[in-house]
Amino acid sequence: MDFSWLSDPFYQEYLVEGLINTLWLLLVSAVAGLILAVAMAMARIKGPRPLAWLATGVTAVIRGTPLLVQLFFFYYGVGRLLEGIPGIQDSIFWGLLRDPFFYATLTFTLSVGAYSGEILRGALLNVPPGEREAGRAYGFHPWQVFVHLWLPRAVQLCLPTLTGEMILLLKSIPLVSTIAMMDLLQAANIIRDETFLTYEPLLLIAAIYLLLTLILTLVLQQLERHFPGVQPQRRRFRWWAQARHG
């Protein structure tokens, strides 16, 4: 085992950049994905027929195909199509549309929206209708009922599952190394190419991921503890219970 490359400032820079990109991608897709999840869940419950069908269809396709295929579809498929649109390369959006980070965020946001939207839909339907009716009886506007009653009660019901989804999201981020984005795995791949070491950089990344998973679990556990009315988890590593990726 040779870890002497760790002292090289160039490699350190790769690793730091990879770590920052990984965390940034996690944060952006988690926030955007959860907002999309609420929209998709509500579209399926209360939306007009065509919108509900669209949300159901998107959910089925996203959940039924590998994340890697989706990533290639958006980055190479959609990306190349956009490239062909005349004039687009001069527009202000071109910087964004050329960036793998954009396509990675798009793919992960859709993925979180589909998987978490399905979870949220179940939770929203499980909130007793009497509680919403009580809100209406007190003179709440339907929007107020949704924001102050329905959604918080649904989140209360499914928060542990949702936080589990966030850990699965963290674990799927290395996929972006396949579209030449500098994440932790890509940093390791570059170091492996330059130092001719097979295992050491990968083992380091595995250790960093173990640590990141542990930290994220603890952070999300605190969140669960502070959210009123959520049953505290008895098992420490909850993401065991389920899995999803690829």
Partner 1 sequence: MSIASQEGLVDWAGPILEGALTTLEIALLAYAIGVLLGLVGAACRLSRQAWLRGIGAGYSTGVRAVPELLLIILLYYAGSQALTAAAHALGLSGQVAINGFVTAVGVLAFVQGAYMTEVFRGAISAIPRGQLEAADAFGFSPWARFRRVTLPAMLPNALPGMSNLWLILIKDTALISVIGYSELFFTVQQAAASTRAHFLFYAAAGALYLAMTLTSNWLFAVVERRARRGLPQLQEH
| Dist. CA 15–CA 22, nearest whole Å | 10
Interface with partner 1, residue 215, by CB under 8 A = no
Task: By CB under 8 A, tell whether 204 contacts partner 1.
Answer: no
Residues in 72-131 at the binding interface with partner 1, rule: CB under 8 A = 72-73, 76-78, 80-81, 122, 125-126
As measured in angstroms, the least distance from the Cβ of 39 to partner 1 is: 21
Which one of residues 9, 50, 64, 232 is an interface residue with partner 1 (CB under 8 A)? 64
Rule CB under 8 A: say whether 60 interacts with partner 1: yes
Shortest gap between Cβ of 177 and partner 1 (angstroms)?
Answer: 8
Stretch that binds partner 1, among 32-40, 97-105, 127-135, 198-206 (CB under 8 A): 198-206
* Binding track, positions 126-155, relative to partner 1; x by CB under 8 A: x-----------------------------
* Binding residue (CB under 8 A) for partner 1 from 56, 161, 195, 213: 213
Among 5, 94, 140, 209, binds partner 1 (CB under 8 A): 209
State in angstroms the smallest separation of the CB of 173 from partner 1: 7
Amino acid, res. 192: R
HEC string of the chain equals CCCHHHHCHHHHHHHHHHHHHHHHHHHHHHHHHHHHHHHHHHHHHCCCHHHHHHHHHHHHHHHHCCHHHHHHHHHHHHHHHHHCCCCHHHCCCHHHHCCHHHHHHHHHHHHHHHHHHHHHHHHHHHCCHHHHHHHHHCCCCHHHHHHHHHHHHHHHHHHHHHHHHHHHHHHHHHHHHHHCCCCHHHHHHHHHHHHCCCCHHHHHHHHHHHHHHHHHHHHHHHHHHHCCCCCCCCCCCHHHHCCCCC
Q: Does 245 bind partner 1 (CB under 8 A)?
A: yes
Contact residues toward partner 1 (CB under 8 A) are 60-61, 63-70, 72-73, 76-78, 80-81, 122, 125-126, 170-175, 177-178, 185, 198-199, 202-203, 205-206, 209-210, 213-214, 237, 239-246
